Amino acid sequence: MRMIGKAGKAAAVAAIAALALTACGRTEPGTTGGGTGAAGFEQSSSIGVALPQKTSENWVLAEKLFNDGLSSAGFKPDVQFANGGVSEQQNQISAMITKGAKVIIVGAIDGAQLGTQLKQAKDSGATIIAYDRLLLNTENVDYYVAYDNFKVGELQGQALLDGMKAKKPAGPYNIELFAGSPDDANAKVFFDGAMSVLKPKIDDGTLKVASGQTSFEQAVTQGWKAENAQRRADTLLTGSYGTASLDGVLSPNDTLARAVLTSVKAAGKPLPVITGQDSEVESVKSILAGEQYSTINKDTRKLVEHAIVMVKDLQAGKTPEINDDKSYNNTVKTVPAYLLEPVIVTAANVKTAYVDDPVLGPITK
Ligand code: BGC
């Protein structure tokens, strides 16, 4: 939060500086470093925001926040969802280029499938910001703004251990592992973060994955779809939990956590300790009701706000602030990143975690 404050102030200073230049009648754009290729642009410019499918509430929230935030900063927002899939997202980015977008913010469905469009966007002079999900295998991405995905996974892995221990002090524990969609660059990072905590415990016998499905490839949930997680949970329960108890489940997000809980309930089994992510309304209620064990607070307002701070900096001809220049290599380059801190939420802090959230605050009071 401290970091946002600083960046916000920097942007405000930049905006004032830009106004001062205009007032003096100077139209010369400022210069940027960081190899963005952009050098300031008209404040009324079109800013493209290419969002993926509405696979979780955070994306739906982002749409309104981008529209409102960009408009009130004087830009022309062009916010699109690609519910139809990758080719729709490719077409949307092409259309943004045609409309003259100066910055294109991309939450990719498949971060490796936009190479052609990103090259065209760069050639047109636009700056590319990867939003929440990294853009892979391309040099044509300038910045990455996201919550620290590896940290999200670490927090989930630790929460799973803590939750099981609180319920049953001595192991071993039977667990199952779920991961997100393999085309989303985040999914593997979340899984790797969680496994950095869980794998040593699997190796020393504290944790037992009864199905034997411990690899990312075995754990994935295509399209982040609830029905896919539910179906896999049904199969795992039937195949490996005839008499054994399922003590814990690593779930990468809230939508999938609720799908797994639905499956466990249908099987008539006691509910396992289960992790989540996104602070979705139904999951926060589930934590309050003692069902889902944990979620992650990745306040969408802060993420969108920071993406807009970057746009404002670029508009003013300034290099956007980054706080990480080593973690996110996309196979072609290490993308300069601004990472925000995710926060774990369990029954222990659910009543205080969302005090300033207009939707979750009242629910958790
Ligand atoms: C986001 C998660 C979200 C998932 C499914 C990921 O890329 O980081 O917050 O749960 O997509 O929408």
Q: For residue range 255-278, list pLDDT tens digits in order.
A: 999 999 999 999 999 999 999 999
d(CA 316, CA 298): 28
Q: How many CA atoms lie within 13 A of 307 on its CB side?
A: 34
Task: Walk me through the domains of the chain, giving residue ranges and CATH numbers.
Answer: 6-148+300-342 (3.40.50.2300), 149-297 (3.40.50.2300)
Q: What pLDDT was estimated at residue 20?
A: 35
- For residue 251 and ligand 1, the question of a CB distance below 6 A is answered with no
Q: Which residue is it, tokens 């080719």?
A: 87
- 80-135 residue pLDDT tens: 999 999 999 999 999 999 999 999 999 999 999 999 999 999 999 999 999 999 99
Ligand 1 midpoint to CA 188 (Å):
12
135, 222, 278: residue to mutate for ligand 1 pocket, most atoms within 8 A of CB: 278
Q: Given the CA of residue 133, which atom of ligand 1 is nearest to it?
A: 7
Mean pLDDT estimate for the chain: 91
- 137-156 residue pLDDT tens: 999 999 999 999 999 999 99
Q: Is the peptide bond before 172 cis (omega within 30 degrees of 0)?
A: yes
Q: What pLDDT was estimated at residue 39?
A: 58
- For residue 57 and ligand 1, the question of a CB distance below 6 A is answered with no
Length of the chain: 365
- Per-residue pLDDT band at 15 (split at 50, 70, 90): very low
Residue 38 has pLDDT above 80, yes or no: no
Pairing label, strands 46-51, 103-106: parallel
- Which residue owns the Cα nearest ligand 1 atom 9? 278
Q: Given the CA of residue 59, which atom of ligand 1 is nearest to it?
A: 12
End-to-end Cα distance, the chain: 22
Residue 22 has pLDDT above 90, yes or no: no
pTM for the structure as a whole:
0.89
d(CA 193, CA 179): 11
Mean pLDDT of 211-228: 98
Identify whether the C-beta of residue 129 lies closer than 8 Å to the C-beta of residue 313: no
Ligand 1 midpoint to CA 201 (Å):
26
- Which residue owns the Cα nearest ligand 1 atom 10? 253
Q: How many CB atoms lie within 10 A of CB 205?
A: 9
- For residue 147 and ligand 1, the question of a CB distance below 6 A is answered with no
